[in-house]
Amino acid sequence: MGTSLDRRAVKDAQRATWDALSAGWAEAQEVFERGAGLVTGRLLDLGDVRPGQTVLDVGTGLGEPALTAARRVGRTGRVVATDISPEMLRIARRRAGGLGDVAANIEFVEADVEAQGLSPGAFDVVLSRWGLMFAVDHVAAFAGLRRLLRPGGVLAAAVWGPAEDAPVMALGFASLSASLDLPPAPPDAPGPFSMTDPDVLTCELEAAGFSGVSVLETRVPFAFDSVGAFVAFTRAVTPPFLLDRIRERHGSPDAREAWRAVEAAAARFRTGSGGLYIPSKALCVQASNPGDGG
């Protein structure tokens, strides 16, 4: 992936966006985790996370898979959870504080996926659930994470498959963008769908020095009680720039006419009971640090 983008501007925009979205994601968390929890379990298994280990979670957001990993490593282990967004981390700390002993072995640190600022070779496992796609330079980001792993340590991460195969994330935003006549994002822009090709992803990981790379397609079962529930989820996690465009076009980000496009697009996923079933593809990555000191 090229690095022609202004990295500082991208990171500043990402931080501001995720801060602004933190409350919405907290609101949507319960329904999202109904499906996303499957991916958390898959990543912990791919990383072989076990008691006593030291684990890093990159792009933890509201605290997953860090909180689940903290339970698995137990009191003798340690989890460091990083994110670019101070507001996301504030909510994650609050969640950890409500989980008793889990809070004792987890630390939350503000850091960018491409600049963790942590000690080399300090971790047995690096986890990331839908966080790596926001890197500006994929290979550099992967190489930086590899250096944080001990020799033989494992990266276990999930990224989204192609937009057309991941409607839980893409459907609402695509519908809104089309209704607002917005152009597609630049192909080199960091974002949810910047790591959708398994072959390219494998090559990037190998270029960063990882070995034993595997990319496994996983069908994630997202379910919603109704079309309205999906619209509410989409509204909660819609980036500020899209809400601003809706406001400019319709006078309010909640204007009914703006969200009819999302309702219409979601209707094809309706089940016989009136709910929605929106399976979406994730790519689950497993890769090892061969420990050559590179």
Residue in this structure with the two tokens 């931080």, named with its chain if needed:
15
Out of 3.40.50.2300, 1.10.3720.10, 3.40.50.150, 3.20.20.70, the CATH code matching 7-162+187-223+281-288 is 3.40.50.150
Dig out the tokens for 133 from the structure: 């796609």
What is the reported pLDDT for 37?
97
In angstroms, the Cα distances linking 98 to 34, 94, 95, 123, 233 are 20, 7, 5, 26, 24
When pLDDT is averaged across residues 210-220 and rounded to a whole number, the result is 97
Residue in this structure with the two tokens 């985790």, named with its chain if needed:
33
Q: How many CB atoms sit inside 10 A of residue 115's CB?
A: 14
Helix (H) or strand (E) holding 167: helix 167-179
What is the reported pLDDT for 184?
81
Longest dimension (CA), the chain: 58
- pLDDT digits over 237-259, tens only? 999 999 999 999 999 999 998 99
When pLDDT is averaged across residues 212-230 and rounded to a whole number, the result is 97
On average, the pLDDT of the chain sits at 94
Q: How many CB atoms sit inside 10 A of residue 157's CB?
A: 30
pLDDT band at 294 (very low <50, low <70, confident <90, very high): very low
- pLDDT digits over 178-196, tens only? 999 998 877 678 999 999 9
When pLDDT is averaged across residues 158-164 and rounded to a whole number, the result is 97
When pLDDT is averaged across residues 9-29 and rounded to a whole number, the result is 96
When pLDDT is averaged across residues 105-114 and rounded to a whole number, the result is 95
Answering whether pTM is above 0.75, one says: yes
Residue 107 has pLDDT above 50, yes or no: yes
Do residues 78 and 148 lie in contact, with contact meaning Cβ atoms separated by under 8 Å? no
